[in-house]
Amino acid sequence: MNKKIQSLLAMLAISLMIAPALADERLKEVIADSDRPADQVERDPYRNPYETLMFFGIEPDMTVVELSPAGGWYTEILAPYLKDEGQLIAAHWNLDGDVPDFYVRIRGEYEERIADTDRFGEIELVSFDPPALSELGEPGSADMVLTFRNVHSWKRAGTFRDVVRAAHEVLKPGGVFGVVSHRLPEDHEQDPEVRSGYVHQSWVVSVLESEGFRLVEASEINANPDDTADHPNGVWNLPPSLRVEEGDDEDHYRAIGESDRFTLKFVKR
């Protein structure tokens, strides 16, 4: 091998090492941005956005679908990170038909917030309500699909498998489906109505693996061993909701912190 080829290979190796490092620094910058709302920044110690997104393998040139972003806690990070080189698709609640006022208000506030294209870029907003509305983009067009603290809602509605199929359809082969949700201990009985908000990690894994995904790794990034998952109002007893009954000790739930959560990385087979 001549010296010119050796030099080119060395430069290529260096560039491949530098690129992920630059992506890491960009993500840190976005998370530290003073434009993020202060009440959202307060949640960082519980939600660990840098560690979580790096665990999933996010890169700034990806096409990423965020499922049910609600008020947009993760959108505040994902959109600025992706806006220059990538694309964020926000699959938000469908407002057609008889929907709760809460849905109307939260999606309206979300749309108003992301209208700031200087900060967020051009987010593609789609209505997502599987199985009736389940198209997330062209088949095989997305690098990553992410969902944060939503599985309980889909389990309650009986649509979780439809959600998983929609994610599989839009992802490229080898694309990543990242799932964070409230964890029910395996020795606790699952309430079919999921009124607590907690679900078994093993059940989530079994559904995804039966629908064409492979579990790559489970992380304890968002674990909270202080959460016993048996509160009167479920996860909503804990911060940030702090839905505490009269006479109950709010400080007790505040001290626990946010819920214990599993963090699962799947790839499309």
Classify 179 as helix, strand or coil: strand
Percent of the chain having pLDDT more than 90?
A: 89
Note the pTM of the prediction, 2 decimals: 0.91
Specify the pLDDT at position 269.
96
Helix axes 3-31, 75-82, angle to 10 degrees: 150
Q: 38-268 belongs to which CATH class?
A: alpha beta
DSSP structural state of residue 131: T
29: Cα separation from own chain's centroid: 19
Q: What is the pLDDT of residue 180?
A: 98
CA–CA dist 82, 60 (Å, integer)? 5
* Helix, strand or coil, per DSSP, at residue 161: helix
The pLDDT score that the predictor gives to residue 6 is 58
Closest CA to 254 of 267, 265, 244, 269: 244
Range 62-73 burial, b when 16+ CB lie within 10 A, else e: bbbbbbbbbebb
Supply the pLDDT for residue 23: 60
Look up tokens 């599985």; give the residue: 151
- Taking CA atoms, 153 is separated from 17, 171, 188, 199, in Å, by 40, 22, 19, 10
Categorise residue 268: left if φ over 0, alpha if ψ from -120 to 50, beta otherwise: beta
Q: Which residues of the chain have pLDDT under 70?
A: 1-23
Helix (H) or strand (E) holding 265, with range, is strand 261-268
DSSP code at position 133 = B
**pLDDT score recorded for residue 24:** 87
What are the backbone angles phi and psi of residue 11, rounded to the nearest 5°? -65, -40
Tell me how far apart the alpha carbons of residues 206 and 204 are, in angstroms, rounded to a whole number: 5
d(CA 70, CA 90): 10
